[in-house]
Amino acid sequence: MEEYVCVTVQSQPNEAEAAFSSRLSRFWTHMLRQFPIEFESVYAETTTFEPSGNRLTRQYLATAGVIPLLEAEMGRHGIEYLPIDLDETFSKYEAVSPEWMQIEH
């Protein structure tokens, strides 16, 4: 069974949800176009943004093998993220509706 790690991205301080959503959309479009095979390793995302202090967060589940590329590309594109714990893994059965949605590939 495939295991996934959680990637939590966060907005800039006090960034509006629409602006953060737009930045994430541009980032994931870039990933899909530039790295289509690796993009398939991103399994699911949470359905809503969560507040965390003066920031918003959103979570993604991805295979551990794609994490180095994601970290590099997020850094290049100004997407901040929390430290990723490669030892804490999840199955696809833990990413269930309505909190999670599977990413179409």
Identify the CATH number of the domain defined by range 4-102. Answer: 3.30.70
**Separation CA 1–CA 7 (nearest Å):** 19
pLDDT at 1: 77
Domain boundaries, the chain: 4-102
pLDDT digits (tens, 9 = 90+) for 30-46: 999 999 999 999 999 99
> Is this model's pTM higher than 0.85 or not?
yes
